[in-house]
Amino acid sequence: MSLAPVVFVAHGAPPLLDDAGWVSELARWAGAMPRPRAVLVVSAHWEAHPTELGAVSPTPLVYDFFGFPRRFYEMTYAAPGAPDLAARVRALLSGAQVPCAPTPRSGHGRGLDHGAYIPLMCMYPGADVPVLQMSLPSLDARTLFDVGRALAPLRAEGVLVMGSGFLTHNMRTLGMRETPAWASDFDTWCADVLARRDFDALRDYTVKAPGVRESLPTHEHFAPVVVAAGAASVSSGPVSFPITGFWHAIGGASFTRRSVQMG
C-alpha cells in the first residue's frame, strides 16, 4: 500500500511570493511528490481548543499580517473545500479522544490563513486541490504528536498532511546580517533528530535542543512539525529536506527555511 508523504513547510511571509528561487523550490518539491487527493494543513497561525476545522467549503482568505503592500491583501486562492475530508478528520480525532468543535452553521468555518495559502500558492498554483485547515489544539509537544498520529490513516487515502511554520522564529533578530550560532545549532539539531526519526527527542525538544530559547521565544511556529512527525511515525519511510538554508530577505537571519518530507 502506497502512503502519501507527510511534510513540514517553512511558509514565509507574503513576500515569499516575490522570491523566485524559493517559489521554484516549492513548486519543484510539489511536482516531485504524488499529487494528493486533498491537503490537510496545520498552520502556526491558528490555535484553538478544542480543535477546529476551517475552509470546509470555499471561504475568503484570512489576511493575518500587516504592513505589506496592498497587493498582498488582494490575493485569492480559491481551492475547493473538503467536506468529506472534514468528516473523516472528525472521525479520526474522535476515535483518538481528541475534542473537536462543531463546524459553524455557515458550513465552512474560518478561511485559510497565510501559513496555508502562501506555500500552497507556490506548490499548487492552480488552486485545484481541495484544502482543509485544522487548528493547533495545544502547544504541548506530546499532545501535538498524538494528534498527528491520529491523522496517520489519511496517508493511505491520498491526503497530504502538511505542517506549516518555521523551525526557528525569533522576530527580535530582524536586522541581523549573519545567522546566529544558536539558530544554526537548533536547525542542525532538528535535522539530525528528524533524519533519525528520534521522535522521543523531538517531543522533549524544549529541554534537549540547543538554542531552543533563542530560536523559539514562542512555540507556535514549531508546533506543526510535531504534528507532522506524529502523522509520519506509524511508518518507517525516508526523511529528506527539500529546502534548507536561512531566510535573509527581510533581515531575519534566524528564520531557517528548512522544510521536511517524511515518507
- Determine the average pLDDT of the residues in 4-30: 94
The pLDDT assigned to 180 comes to 86
- Determine the average pLDDT of the residues in 72-86: 95
- Determine the average pLDDT of the residues in 193-197: 98
CA nearest neighbour of 246 among 255, 236, 259, 237: 255
Of the chain, the percentage scoring pLDDT greater than 90 comes to 81
Going from N- to C-terminal start, the domains of the chain cover 6-262
- pLDDT for 240-260, tens place per residue? 999 999 876 555 456 899 999
Of the chain, the percentage scoring pLDDT greater than 70 comes to 93
Asked if residue 50 has pLDDT above 90, the reply is yes
- pLDDT for 24-34, tens place per residue? 999 999 999 99
Sheet holding 159-165, edge to edge: 53-54, 131-136, 38-47, 159-165, 6-10, 259-262, 239-243
- pLDDT for 86-135, tens place per residue? 999 999 999 999 999 987 666 567 999 999 999 999 999 999 999 999 99
Q: Is the pTM of this model over 0.85?
A: yes
Collect all residues with Cβ–Cβ distance below 8 Å to 80 and sequence separation of at least 6.
Answer: 58, 128, 129, 130, 131
Asked if residue 191 has pLDDT above 90, the reply is yes
- pLDDT for 126-182, tens place per residue? 999 999 999 999 999 999 999 999 999 999 999 999 999 999 988 766 666 678 899
The CATH code of domain 6-262 reads 3.40.830.10
For the chain, give the mean pLDDT: 92
Gap between the Cα atoms of 77 and 83, Å rounded: 17
- Determine the average pLDDT of the residues in 227-251: 88
Gap between the Cα atoms of 45 and 255, Å rounded: 16
